[in-house]
Structure 1
Amino acid sequence: MTPGARVAAAISVLDAVRAGEAAEKALTGWARGARYAGSKDRAAVRDHVFDVLRRWRSCAALGGGDDGRHLMIGAMRSEGIDPHTVFTGDGHAPTALTEPERAGGHVPVGLDALDLPDWLWPHFETSLGASAEGAAEMLRHRAPVMLRVNLRRGTVADAQAQLASEGIDTTTADIAKSALQAISGERKIAGSVAYAEGLVELQDGSSQAAMEALQITKGARVLDYCAGGGGKVLALAARADAAWYAHDIAPQRMNDLPARAKRAGVEVTRLETGAIARAEPFDLVLCDAPCSGSGTWRRSPEAKWRLTPERLEDLTQIQYEILARTAPRVSDGGCLAYATCSVFKQENEAVVARFLQEHPSWRLGQQRTWPISGAGDGFCLAQLVRG
């Protein structure tokens, strides 16, 4: 595909997203109908779409409209590319710019420049204070590709050497002991020997750091209550010999966990909801609760445009209920760990404060937040203990 054809494809996907279709579904639908598109073409179209999703308002301002065509005009301008050179009408490229399109658009200001919905900005200001604008700016750009070295399989140096031999260059990251940041060859990771043999896993730096902050004693019984794909329980399991359990309210999310655990060299028992009581008590229960994901919007930028005030309020209730439901599963002297990938106090400190107020036998042990950074997403971890 030519550069123009890739832009035309991105326009069609963005129009589908604008009409309410999920971005991933829209991309899959386009790819199925474009058998001629190679892997590099699909990657390029995806990059166009996600770059616009991160910067929807500023692209709309620069392009003079918020349909797919004007968004891509704005995206070209934001990258210093004259859209006239891409919108040529030749072959499968978008039709040439009209005179109004050439003259349209303006430099984004205010929340257009920060690429946030109006209603969300007060949450950023309240939660992040002077760093709110910096966080919003970071969310406008791609997230780093971070790897966790599985120390059961080898050292950080071993992983770097193996990855380098496969054309993947990395650098160590201070955010976590086993963290690497890919600096080239990122698209080769999933097909690498290092990944296939469990030496490395894709995992954000802040998530790695949070799992390192949790104390694990040998022989402990540990439950990852909102496990999803199991990345966090695997990170914990790489550190100690213990009994590992995983649960998710949607068990299908854990379908890949057995294969991932085998690759990592650990055993994780999946528990249906009804089986948790038979396996308790646990020395550590990790609740990586459903949240706005505001700390991860570089990776899932569509979410910041889909989130509503009502959904955010619903999430805080779900988060509290998860803590209340899991607290009885923790053994005396054990830890209830509450985590979110949100930067909002409403989902972090406020939820923890409500839980402690309504459960006076518990106290806050430690709480830490990680800002959105060059090596990690926004993340919060609170460790709750009895007494």
Structure 2
Amino acid sequence: MTPAARVQTAIEILDAIARSARDGGPPADAIFAEAMRARRYAGSKDRRAIRDHVYAAIRAVRAAPPSGRAAMLALADADPDLAALFDGAAYGPAVIAAEEPRADTGIASTALLKLFDPLVGKAEHAAMLARAPLDLRANRLRSSRDELATIFPEGDAITGLADGWRLAGATAAVQNPAYAEGQFEVQDAASQYAAIALGAEVGHTVVDLCAGAGGKTLAIASATGDEAAILACDTNRARLQQLAPRAHRGGATRIEALLLNPGQEAAMLADHIGKADRVIVDAPCSGSGTWRRSPELRWRLTPARLDRHVADQAKLLDLGADLVVPGGKLVYAVCSIIAREGRAQVDDFLNRHPGWTADGDILPAGIGRAAGGGFLLTPGHDGCDGFFLARLSRPC
């Protein structure tokens, strides 16, 4: 493919991604993969160049653009070499016309910026869209961080994490045989901090209420030496089914998976009411803390979707609270930097549940900043995904 043809292909893919963002369709990675399958003539260099164009535009443009061309023109205005490829050549983009519309650039729309937690200022914005590193967590049931340092000597320890090891984002760590042997998992530092904040101990009964594919479940099993009974729940069958093979690979034997039917969660968990020493609720959210990895999420968030997330979070918090034994603890976690999903959600919970209290000092020294009844982690301040964490204690 010619350089101009690569640009035109990127424009067409951006059109599809913008439509999907507006309609709640597949994510950008899935759309890109499908587009490349339909263009088998594109070589590996072509695919890399097209992907670079697509994601450069997604990172630069603050909201779903009117067209892929408008998004690419916003880049071309700042890049003369890119603008020169709009020359009308065969298979390339048409010549740029006078007064042609451009997509707005920036971190996020003005309306979305107003929703950020007060701790997230302009100094944080660049880090929120920078490329993320690759964080690993040593599995204590199979290995240690010292062994990871031997396997990946180019990495570095992660502040406050005894099992955390950080690599450059482009590292293909999962292709190393140590991964197949269960010696480590890929897990962002923020997620590892959440597992630490839970404070699960040997002999505890733990419920992971929104387990997904089990990243935090496995971290808890590792931290407790496989000596805690863990119930991993989710309503997403496809995601939860990934947990069993991961647990087998990692040597975690005391995890029970429970697929919940949407709307019937409380009834299906009735036998567990008031019996869990620790509950973690990693609730569905806007994903605004993960824009480094999925920048098109900025294009997807609408007021209605945010309202649904906030309502679901409150229901899950109340359900999780019912599972906690008197004197036990509940960790609330969302990969969000939006105040309604963080500090405001915890304030509302404490108002609904008299006697419950928010714990302090739940994170390693220097990690996170106090945000109401919880703590906010951000890429700029903490070098990890944006995350809100709170640990709530039930009265005895």
Q: Using the alignment, how far apart are the partners of 2:331 and 2:12 within structure 1?
A: 43
Q: How many residue pairs end up in the alignment? A: 366
8 Å contact from structure 1 (residues 114, 133) kept in 2: no
Match of 2:231 among 245, 248, 252: 245
Q: Using the alignment, how far apart are the partners of 1:38 and 1:195 within structure 2?
A: 29
| Percent identity (aligned) | 37
Q: Give 1:74's aligned residue.
A: 74
How much has 1:13 moved relative to structure 2? 0.7
Match of 2:378 among 363, 368, 371: 371
How much has 1:116 moved relative to structure 2? 0.8
8 Å contact from structure 1 (residues 286, 339) kept in 2: yes
Change (3 A) 1:215 1:77: same
SS in 2 for 1:284: strand
Match of 2:113 among 113, 121, 125: 121
How much has 1:242 moved relative to structure 2? 0.9
Change (3 A) 1:57 1:361: closer
Q: Using the alignment, how far apart are the partners of 1:257 and 1:91 within structure 2?
A: 49
Change (3 A) 1:211 1:18: same
Change (3 A) 1:383 1:263: same
8 Å contact from structure 2 (residues 124, 379) kept in 1: yes
Match of 1:271 among 243, 254, 258: 258
SS in 2 for 1:226: coil
Q: Deviations over 1:293-323 (max 9, x none)?
A: 1111221222212111222122212111111
Which segments of 5 or more consecutive residues in structure 2 lack a partner in the other structure? 261-266, 361-373
Letter in 2 for 1:380: F
Letter in 2 for 1:97: V
Q: Using the alignment, how far apart are the partners of 1:236 and 1:114 within structure 2?
A: 38
Q: Deviations over 1:165-206 (max 9, x none)?
A: xxxx322221523222212752x2232213222222221111
Match of 2:133 among 115, 131, 144: 144
Q: Using the alignment, how far apart are the partners of 1:263 and 1:41 within structure 2?
A: 36
How much has 1:14 moved relative to structure 2? 0.3
Change (3 A) 1:315 1:19: closer
Q: Give 2:368's aligned residue.
A: none
Change (3 A) 1:287 1:89: same
SS in 1 for 2:339: coil
8 Å contact from structure 1 (residues 128, 343) kept in 2: no
Q: Give 1:178's aligned residue.
A: 163
Letter in 1 for 2:59: R
Letter in 2 for 1:100: A
Change (3 A) 1:163 1:244: same
Pair 1:198 & 2:182 matched: yes
| More divergent stretch after superposition (140-149 vs 230-239) | 140-149
Q: Using the alignment, how far apart are the partners of 1:205 and 1:334 within structure 2?
A: 25
Q: Using the alignment, how far apart are the partners of 1:345 and 1:138 within structure 2?
A: 19
Which segments of 5 or more consecutive residues in structure 1 lack a partner in the other structure? none
Q: Using the alignment, how far apart are the partners of 1:184 and 1:142 within structure 2?
A: 7
Letter in 2 for 1:377: D
Q: Which has the higher helix share?
A: 1
Q: Give 2:338's aligned residue.
A: 344
Match of 1:256 among 242, 246, 257: 242
Q: Using the alignment, how far apart are the partners of 1:197 and 1:51 within structure 2?
A: 36
Higher relative contact order (CA 8 A, sep 6+): 2
The root-mean-square deviation of aligned C-alpha atoms, in Å, is 2.7
Q: Using the alignment, how far apart are the partners of 1:243 and 1:308 within structure 2?
A: 39
Match of 1:46 among 43, 51, 65: 51
Q: Deviations over 1:81-126 (max 9, x none)?
A: 611454456675x24634638xx789x9xxx5533112112112xx
Q: Using the alignment, how far apart are the partners of 1:320 and 1:226 within structure 2?
A: 13
8 Å contact from structure 2 (residues 86, 96) kept in 1: no
How much has 1:35 moved relative to structure 2? 2.2
What TM-score results when the alignment is normalised by the length of structure 2? 0.83
Q: Deviations over 1:322-352 (max 9, x none)?
A: 1111212111221111111111221112111
Q: Using the alignment, how far apart are the partners of 1:172 and 1:72 within structure 2?
A: 38
Q: Give 1:157's aligned residue.
A: 146
SS in 1 for 2:349: helix
Q: Give 1:226's aligned residue.
A: 210
What TM-score results when the alignment is normalised by the length of structure 1? 0.85
Q: Give 1:331's aligned residue.
A: 325
Change (3 A) 1:97 1:180: farther
8 Å contact from structure 2 (residues 324, 394) kept in 1: no
Give 1:10-21 correspondences, 5 Å limit.
10-20=10-20, 21=25
Q: Using the alignment, how far apart are the partners of 1:236 and 1:47 within structure 2?
A: 37
Change (3 A) 1:185 1:19: closer
How much has 1:75 moved relative to structure 2? 2.9
